[in-house]
Chain A
């Protein structure tokens, strides 16, 4: 009989290894799924994990890696702080969209003025937009004890509606012959978020993501605020005893996550996306939740997890086009990663023992 036995202390080894185990298990189960769909599992897995880095088109796809990983990491870092504290912001997608709209609106308002201050002003507006959108669930939670999971999630759909209004209405390109979508930022240098090193895929969003990883790492390991965030998530009563004000923590965690998601939205819309359009967002806000957990809610882990997730995105797209795999299969594959991760997490706190007889 298989028995799960609680470990006296959490295992540091398995805390690190369970993501690796999850990736391996995902490859196996995903391979079986691809085989069931009539594709060669080895080719499918290689297309997803190997070809983007070392295959024929790697020179282009490697750059895409940073383009996709940047926003994922930026958003996931913000989310992970809340997840550490037991505050479940599921609406980063909405905060990301609102950040993009607010930042873009500020930039477009100055069109076609050229000034070095415009992009920083847009960034501030983007952060502000995401922050405001996250403050809605925060205030409702602290004032009326509403559930932040539901409120933040539902606000995603509101944000998507606002995005549709923006791209077809108040931010529509006046010179765009009536087509939906705003002016292109690639044609407006003051408001543009260009690639910093040609071919690298690195733009200001990637730089911001790296800085955020470092800042979050220092916050969690060296600062009393980070300690309190961890404490509040692990032992809420002990946190109150230590002097943590739960309401203030909710405001802080949701605000930080919203601000970072808003910044990610702004970097995306002014860089890779290039304009506000109905579908400029590609679900980074939701995928970042997986990234946050895959990275153990740990800043350095999130850095790696963001890169891995970006890889499955790019590889998944290649598999979809080259091997004719349905995109739903790719999404299922990515979802498996989270499931296997949560399952192998058990090993951090429990050990598996095989016993000959029935346990008493």
Chain B
């Protein structure tokens, strides 16, 4: 007999070209909060998908309370007592909270009864949620509550949380942690996936660290430092980007009273956004995704046009100019979504270099493409930003996410523009590559460029930004110098708790 709830032994899962899990083993006891820690691509998600019955292991075994456990599908896992909250929500925006919960249940009770149960469970665990609201109107934090409540209604004994805090404000994270601690005190085991080390130190009882599909270490997070865990995770010593004290110059980019409707049905309209960025300054714009970041990016890149005076570049109105004209005037932009927006998936890296580099790198003459120059430009990016690829002839989609991100960000940074706008510069990139990208951004700022970084990663913004602003529900706070900002102040700037009170006040 064993006192463990779930034991995993020698689990191996290979996909064509990559071994996602290689002999992975760990165990979780009832009431334990267990962290699975690792970089993107370390095999965390594959591992929990096998526990949740979404993927079948090639070899190895799992035991649930000492009995063999091999769920054929998520339904079987749920019946056993495993619940999972995914990183990407699977909710229907046009339906209410209660309807969404009902859709995820085997035998949903009557709506009225279900609504009552949702209220009880959500209040019991400190997750206020109105069952009658339309999901499309909820903040990301509230949507996550829907997912959590959906799991809790089935009284799981093991709750898997896949990077739950990536969409939350600091205050929302604190609320989530209280919920998780309460669940843990009641005996529910929690498998917590993250690469945010301070969170794991604050929440978890034990941690299993994965690297390239293998367990490389286990530790008790409270007893080791975040830096030690980071080094176990990456397998190398990390150096934070070097910052120099910079003199900021004239205003390079000015946005005044920018209001635009969102091009998407459930997007967020921008409401009176104003800010300036000076030469040599890095402005960090924080905020949970879906609060107007995409809209702001499109208005800055020139993909959405506005009144000329709303966006000024070095004093000249450019609001009515498209992306090409803005590039010519000195503004480059790197979108968040790599495949399909920043890069054409089926085109080669050379063609993708041409995509946004044609104007500033003078890759065309009378409209005719100078392929030799373009190839040289692409090869230069690959070289300078350490893009791992067999060559510049391969299709963009063949690169891993992190490598393509290095290529895309590198393509914009190496155009020597006076203003650089980057949306989520290190999204999905491993720690070493992220450090390289941040360093490249800082180097451009040192050379006198004005940089706008839109990011959900607060640590990243605090590391590289000179001034800090937050975007909430389409409103942007006035930028403040990063030096001297406390985490509490940042939380307040980000709109405080995305609770129902705040929503009603809107």
Could you list which residues of chain A lie within 8 angstroms of chain B, going by C-beta atoms?
Answer: 5, 8-10, 222-225, 227, 230-231, 234-235, 237-243, 245, 360
Contact = CB atoms under 8 A, between A and B. Distances in A.
B322 A10 contact: no
B59 to A, nearest CB: 12
Dominant secondary structure of chain A at its interface with chain B: helix
B398 A224 contact: no
Contacts of B56: 360
B364 A241 contact: no
A241 B398 contact: no
Given A8-B398, A242-B355, A243-B327, A234 B301 contact: no
B356 interface: yes
Given A8-B398, A222-B369, A227-B369, A242 B323 contact: yes
B358 interface: yes
Given A241-B301, A241-B303, A241-B323, A224 B341 contact: no
Given A9-B398, A238-B355, A242-B356, A231 B344 contact: yes
Given A224-B369, A242-B356, A235 B344 contact: yes
A9 B351 CA distance: 14
A242 B301 CA distance: 10
Contacts of A237: 337, 340-341
Given A9-B397, A360-B56, 5 more contacts: A10-B346, A225-B367, A234-B344, A238-B341, A238-B342
Contacts of B114: none
Given A10-B346, A240-B303, A243-B322, A222 B368 contact: yes
A241 to B, nearest CB: 6
A243 B331 CA distance: 13
A224 B354 CA distance: 9
Nearest to B335: A241
Interface of B: 16, 55-56, 301-303, 322-325, 327, 333, 335, 337, 340-347, 351, 354-356, 358-359, 364, 367-369, 371, 394-395, 397-398
Nearest to A349: B346
A52 to B, nearest CB: 38
Nearest to A359: B56
7 contacts: A8-B394, A227-B351, A227-B354, A231-B347, A235-B344, A237-B341, A241-B301
B367 A223 contact: yes
A241 B341 contact: yes
Contact of A241 (B351, B356, B369, B395): B356
Given A237-B340, A238-B340, A224 B345 contact: no
A107 B53 CA distance: 75
Contacts of A5: 16
Given A9-B394, A231-B344, A237-B341, A243 B368 contact: no
Contacts of B342: 238, 241
A215 to B, nearest CB: 13
Nearest to A353: B16
